[in-house]
Amino acid sequence: MTRGGSAMTRGGSAVWAGGAATRSRVTVTVVTVLVALAGCGVRPEAVPRPVEPSASRLPPVTVPAASPNGEVGERLYYVRDDRLVVVTRQVPTPSAPAALLTTLLTGPSEQERDAGLGTALTGVDPTTTVRLTGDTATVHVGDRLAEAGRTDEVLAFGQIVCTVVGHPAVNQVTFRHDSEPLGIPRADGSLSQAPLTCHDFGSLLD
């Protein structure tokens, strides 16, 4: 027998010892890999194929809800039984904060009035303006709304604040009269010149 790939004569036939050993090692290696794959739950395939990403790893996709007519909801706050009641109207496009306030000042529709809704903003100057600075809307009011001692003034300011902060660009509201900060009554009876949100009138919400 010759080492390093020499022939060994066995019964008149030559057998290559080195080649037989090499084939034996390859066979053992392949069997070992297949056993390892089987242990991991992976079945070998004869033909390669692309691997799709797992659905559980894909980021969630949020699709905004749309009305059947492609319109958006606009929230207005009116009054019923000394409570603030929200009404959602469908409009073609979102209104600017100033336009939203103008819509509020026109009062509830006939259908809304039939449902018992009213407003504490009757007689308020329709030229009341809104200026937006960052996420703060400043409402400039006329004499009628600035009068002290109105029994419905908390509801009136609650209507404005809750309606205006419903706009996506607004988080809080301040009021001014004749360019001066105006103290606003909150639901708890306190006056505040600080920026207000609908939470300041939470106990009045229906």
Residue 80 is which amino acid?
R
Q: What's the rounded mean pLDDT across residues 79-96?
A: 94
pLDDT band at 87 (very low <50, low <70, confident <90, very high): very high
Dist CA 111 CA 107 (whole Å): 11
Decide if pLDDT at 2 tops 50.
no
Secondary structure of residue 67 in the 3-state scheme: coil
Q: What is the pLDDT of residues 170-183, one digit of tens each?
A: 999 999 998 899 99
- Quote the percentage of the chain above a pLDDT of 70: 63
Contact 80, 118 (CB under 8 A): yes
Note if the pTM is more than 0.85: no
